Amino acid sequence: MKAEMLCLGNELLIGRTVNTNATEISRELTKLGFTFSHHLVVEDDKETIVDALRWIHSRRPDLLVITGGLGPTFDDIQMDCVAEFMGVEMEFSEEAMALIHERYGDDLVNEARTKMATLPKGSIPLRNRVGTAPGVISRFEGMTIASLPGVPREMRSIFYKEMIPYFKEHFETKEIHELGFTAYGVGESKILELTEEVRRQFPDCYFKSHPHREDDRLFLQLHVYGYVEEETVRAAAEAWRAAISEITPDVTNISHVFTDDFEGEMHLES
């Protein structure tokens, strides 16, 4: 499944904020079987954004995830740009208004609520449990457009609680498992042959080695992954580790490579 990522926000382009959203979202969707061929960050300018949407669409992805520009202020233009790109009108959504009301009651001024409840015609709003604007799902010529806010805490709430279940329902997602270990005192050339042998035994697994050198000490980071049962990946990692242990005794235990605790938004400010 082909995916693309579009992130809106001048704070990313002036180097004030590190784009951890792109990393986190593509990491999670990679684990579900999506493949990203681009991440694109674009300035908060309607023409530039619509132009970027057209370019992305020309690559015919199954899924486009957009972050940023969903809030109530004048420079939150993601929905406008998506509607313009799709060639549809913006339309007030009772469903979106109900979600916003559920969270804020009458706490927000009318104008802000109405803006955030006005979506590209035919779109589906998704509950935002921690912030103001709902997430949104739109569909255009076989491409699903998944709209998220840029604030990581809000992005995460919608992404994990609403969007991933939607993707699991509407795409043929799979689950990746990845395990890794480190071998010291050995270079890549030494393990080529034995890796080939293990690879033949586990044809559904992928084997990767990353050579490093620290203080003149050689070591390899070794990863096995696959869209198969975790036990299969573990068996492959264990077979690989056993073979490498015969060359060097200095091999770490096998552990999960992906972690679920994420550093979150990073600012470069003092």
Residues 97, 238, 257, 265: which binds a copy of itself (CB under 8 A)? Answer: 257
Which residue, chain included where needed, has tokens 């457009």?
A: 145
Q: How far apart, in whole angstroms, are the C-alpha atoms of residue 144 and residue 141? A: 8
Residue 27 binding a copy of itself, by CB under 8 A = yes
Question: Closest CB to a copy of itself among 139 and 190?
Answer: 190
* Site residues (CB under 8 A) for a copy of itself, limited to 128-147: none
Would you say 137 and 146 are in contact if contact means Cβ atoms under 8 Å apart? yes
Tokens of 230: 């975790």
Q: 194 with 243: CB under 8 angstroms?
A: yes
Contact between 262 and a copy of itself (CB under 8 A)? yes
Write the interaction track for a copy of itself spanning residues 52-71; mark x where CB under 8 A is met and - where it is not: x--x----------------
Residue 70 Cα distances to 181, 217, 227, 231, angstroms? 41, 49, 34, 41
Least separation, in Å, of the C-beta of 228 and a copy of itself? Answer: 17
Does 231 participate in binding a copy of itself (rule CB under 8 A)? no
Q: How many CA atoms lie within 13 A of 222 on its CB side?
A: 31
Distances (CA, A) of 17 to 9, 28, 71, 157: 9, 21, 18, 20
Provide the CA 261 distance to its chain's centre, in angstroms: 14
Neighbour count for residue 238 (Cβ, 10 Å): 15
> Rounded to the nearest whole angstrom, what is the least distance from the CB of residue 223 to a copy of itself in the complex?
9
Binding of residue 92 to a copy of itself (CB under 8 A): no
- Residue 18 found at the interface with a copy of itself (CB under 8 A): yes
**Is residue 197 at the binding interface for a copy of itself, with CB under 8 A as the rule?**
no
Q: Is 175 in the site for a copy of itself (CB under 8 A)?
A: no
> Do residues 67 and 150 touch, judged by C-beta distance below 8 A?
yes
When asked if residue 42 is in the footprint of a copy of itself (CB under 8 A), the reply is: yes
Shorter beta-carbon distance to a copy of itself: residue 36 or 240: 36
Q: Binding of a copy of itself at residue 37 (CB under 8 A)? A: yes
112, 180, 186, 237: which one contacts a copy of itself (CB under 8 A)?
A: 180
User: Which residues are CB-neighbours of 82 under 8 A, at least 6 positions away?
Assistant: 53, 66, 120, 123, 136, 138, 145, 147
Per CB under 8 A, does 16 bind a copy of itself? yes
Q: Which positions lie near a copy of itself, rule CB under 8 A?
A: 12-20, 22-28, 30, 36-43, 45, 48, 52, 55, 180, 255-259, 262-263, 266, 268-270
